[in-house]
Structure 1
Amino acid sequence: MNSDAKILLLYVQGLPDSATDHPLGELARKEENSPPNPPSELEPEPPPPPVRALIVCTGTGTGTGTGTDAEEHLFRPLGDETECAECRRATAYASWMVDTDTYDFPADMTWRQRVVAVAKADALRGKPA
């Protein structure tokens, strides 16, 4: 006897004869008349993190200017950073150039990013831009 027949026999045991003539109909009737399952007690989904306001980047921008003539730009911080990702990358790269005394650039670095990195490296070395 297969498992479907066993389930059917267990289901129809103790039912009146009218129900055993049409067991699938009886099952459909029970499903229609049964109350819905109560909602499970799931933990509520945490609210999404708040969207932070745009702030002015304290970096030198993507242009060639430095200091007061630098291009002002905005970014949305994820944490407590004060520079946009591009300016942070240029600062880190400039620091690396000073430490290693080299001007090697990665292939994916644009010419604007290279100019900013060199200007920052020169500023870290104490050379005028």
Structure 2
Amino acid sequence: MSTAAKPIKESRLQRALRRLGSSNAELESEELQQQVRQEGAVPILTCEDRQQVALTGTVATVTITPRAGHPALEVELRDGSGAVTLLWLGRRQIPGIDPGRTIKIWGRISCHEGKRLVYNPRYELLDGPAA
């Protein structure tokens, strides 16, 4: 017999009781983290500086931030474990990238002034909630 501990499966009643005692933010965070696992992405919280990453999450905010006199599209992506700022230089908008949209991105993460950033990431629009 194996001595390794096996995860205990939660019953429907246990799951329902846990959901009743959880806030909407906790439930949303849990759903986002489940989607991250399903997409094969890594949680934002575990990313290290200069690491090549594949991230999945929901677009929280979209803003245009001028940098050195040129437009830059700044997007906050959340996955339930944390947040990362996606920055597309020279862009004012990207069709389909709107708050509430679920996307998957690939790029190199970096830290700047205490924020996690990914510059000009490749992206894929995923099926899922869109505002």
* TM-score bracket, shorter-length normalisation: under 0.3
TM-score (norm 1): 0.23
Task: Tell me: higher relative CO, structure 1 or 2? Use CA pairs within 8 A at least 6 residues apart.
Answer: 2
TM-score (norm 2): 0.23
Q: Which has the larger radius of gyration?
A: 1
Structure with the larger strand share: 2
